[in-house]
Amino acid sequence: MCTECGKCFTLQRDLEIHQRIHTGEKPFTCTECGNSFRLKECLKRHQIIHTGEKPYACTECEKHFTLKDNLLRHQKIHIGVKPFECTECGKSFSQKSQLQAHHKSHTGEKPFPCAECGKRFGLKSHLNRHQKIHTGEKPLTCTECGKSFSTKDNLSSHVIVHTGEKRFPCTKCGKKFTREDRLEKHMRLHTKKPFTCTECGKSFCSEGRLYCHQATHTGEKPFTCMECGKCFSRKSSLQRHGIIHTRTRLLNVQMYQADVSQQSPTFNSTM
């Protein structure tokens, strides 16, 4: 039995390993970087970082990973498993970190500012990706055409242009997509409407439609007619309104042509 927390073990070795949680003892040290670990297995897993070894391969797309946990997390993309659901809007994610990042879209929290331009981000990884805009750094190169990219995601999306591979199948109808974000957009056709208005409870299948709807509550009219300055809450309303100006211009042209045709005989008779 552990004298600190009362937990019981059948083997003395298991008790000794457990007690390291309380003592903070980490007897296994990496000779490369000096990091220490409580378990030998953890040290072995860590050392793969230094060797670059990626022994775990995805059977669907042949992508390789250093850790088995990372492989299992990746495979959820192919089977469509998304166990982490947002309690605010119902949107689901395959990884807990993705859900945590998404939560910030509701709270508006952006604790990571860019030192160059002041733009703020909810995740440090998003800040790091943004900063490459200022440095112009594009360390990742496509082996097919030589084009360079600033992020791994951009390179991966580009490579599909050469392979034509559609790795992301819809579990509902079987349709396949080249990108995960396109699959997610498609899945909304099968699922309920995940984007709900906090004012009236009405739900929508896309964030864009929810945004347009919310303007009816806020009174916001972000779409302005360049002809007359009239504002609209929806882009479709602006486009519909634009037809009035198009018809007016067409009518003016027709009236002008009619005037010219009427004046032409008079002009000719005076010659």
- Per the domain annotation, does 18 fall within a domain? yes
Per-residue pLDDT at 195: 75
The pLDDT of residue 208 is above 80: no
- Per the domain annotation, does 16 fall within a domain? yes
What total number of domains does the chain contain? 1
Instruction: Tell me what the mean pLDDT of segment 56-72 comes to.
Output: 82
Task: Please state the pTM of the whole predicted model.
Answer: 0.31
- Per the domain annotation, does 5 fall within a domain? yes
Query: What's the CA gap between 151 and 166, in Å, rounded?
Result: 20
Domain of residue 48, CATH code: 3.30.160.60
Domain that holds residue 14: 1-53
- Per the domain annotation, does 11 fall within a domain? yes
- Per the domain annotation, does 225 fall within a domain? no
Confidence class for position 237, pLDDT limits 50, 70, 90: confident
Q: What is the pLDDT of residues 116-136, one digit of tens each?
A: 888 888 878 788 878 877 887
- Per the domain annotation, does 123 fall within a domain? no
- Per the domain annotation, does 233 fall within a domain? no
Confidence class for position 264, pLDDT limits 50, 70, 90: low
- Per the domain annotation, does 2 fall within a domain? yes
The pLDDT of residue 211 is above 80: no
Per-residue pLDDT at 265: 56
